[in-house]
Amino acid sequence: MLEIEIFDFKMENPLILASGVVDMTPELLRRAHREGAGAVVTKSIGKEPRKGYDNPTVVELPYGLINAMGLPNPGWEAFLEEFRGEEFDFPIIVSIFGGTPEEFAFLAEKLQEIADAFELNLSCPHARGYGMEIGQDPNNVYKVVKAVKDVTEKPVIAKLTPNTSDITKLGLAAEKAEADAVSAINTLKAIAIDIYAKRPILSNKVGGYSGPGVKPVALRAVYDLAKALDIPVIGIGGITTWQDAVEFLLAGASALQIGTAVYLKGFSVFREIAHGLEEYLKKEGFTSIKEIIGLALNV
């Protein structure tokens, strides 16, 4: 009932562990799958190791998190060494980031032996020289996607920033460059201030806001992208309950990434959402999750 196929992936359900949350080792990825994730996205991997920002890097709010980790990662060589030879019976989507189209292409070429697909992190709002600064320009999105598509036959997903006046322009640029899908949204640029210290809380000052508070923004982005694009849209942003998941599917998402909810509620959130989806489909008279994708687009 919950099985889906996206690209050439067959997934037991449409739920995917998002990048940046409990995704540091092969065993953690396996645990996410055991707990109900249909696929997983790795941490974002760059060309060189990055320590990331000093603490504090996370602020918990009533309706989500602001984080400014600074893209910490071991670099592509150490990542490849850790994952080489590991076997997975579920799709592994490798997230990569870079400062130029050439860096993205280099990483895709080096890591394709362990990737079932690539997600291009074009939208990190707090890492200077990476992500959002590239991903806000449709021309840059096109160039990065095209560069990666030129070096790999693996599916390519462009992860889009919400920090733009029109996200569909970014999606159309990715589609024109032959991206296999887009994922939306990455975090919203945000800040939190300590009223007693009278200064920003995060060491980087600015971070990315995620969690339940961004859901209406993310849902609108997915809705707009699904209406504008012919390629699949993977929904991300505040998905915490099965009801949230249903909304994103009705808005046109073909699959769903869950991140902050795992941080806040634990791995069990995957099974909770999957169970709720199954019960909803039965009560509403559907036999497959595919039957509800995009139903809200043409009303």
CATH number at residue 232: 3.20.20.70
Please give the annotated binding residues for FMN, written as ranges: 19, 43-44, 121, 159, 185, 211, 237-238, 259-260
Predicted confidence pLDDT, tens digits, the chain (299 residues)? 999 999 888 999 999 999 988 767 999 999 999 999 999 999 999 999 999 899 999 999 999 999 999 888 999 999 999 999 999 999 999 999 998 999 999 999 999 999 999 999 996 655 555 555 678 899 999 999 999 999 999 999 999 999 899 999 999 999 999 999 999 999 999 999 999 999 999 999 999 999 999 999 999 999 999 999 999 999 999 999 999 999 999 999 999 999 999 999 999 999 999 999 999 999 999 999 999 999 999 88
For residue 114, is it within any domain? Answer: yes
| pTM for the model | 0.96
- DSSP SS3 for 225: helix
* HSE-up of residue 133 (Cα within 13 Å, Cβ side): 10
37, 124, 158, 269: which is the annotated catalytic residue?
Answer: 124
Residue 108 catalytic? no
Please give the annotated binding residues for substrate, written as ranges: 43, 67-71, 121, 186-187
Residue 188 phi/psi, 5° resolution? -85, 135
Please give the annotated binding residues, written as ranges: 19, 43-44, 67-71, 121, 159, 185-187, 211, 237-238, 259-260
Q: Is the dihedral of CA 227, 229, 230, 231 positive or negative?
A: negative
Strand pairing class (181-184; 156-159): parallel
Strand pairing class (92-96; 39-45): parallel
Residue ranges of alpha helices (H) inside the chain are 26-34, 76-83, 101-111, 132-135, 138-149, 167-176, 215-228, 242-250, 260-265, 268-284
For residue 63, is it within any domain? Answer: no
For residue 196, is it within any domain? Answer: no
**Interatomic CA distance for residues 202 and 211, integer angstroms:** 17
For residue 204, is it within any domain? Answer: no
For residue 247, is it within any domain? Answer: yes
> How many independent structural domains does the chain possess?
1
Domain containing 98 equals 4-53+69-189+210-292
Instruction: Sort 68 into a burial class: Cβ within 10 Å, 0-12 / 13-18 / 19+.
Output: buried
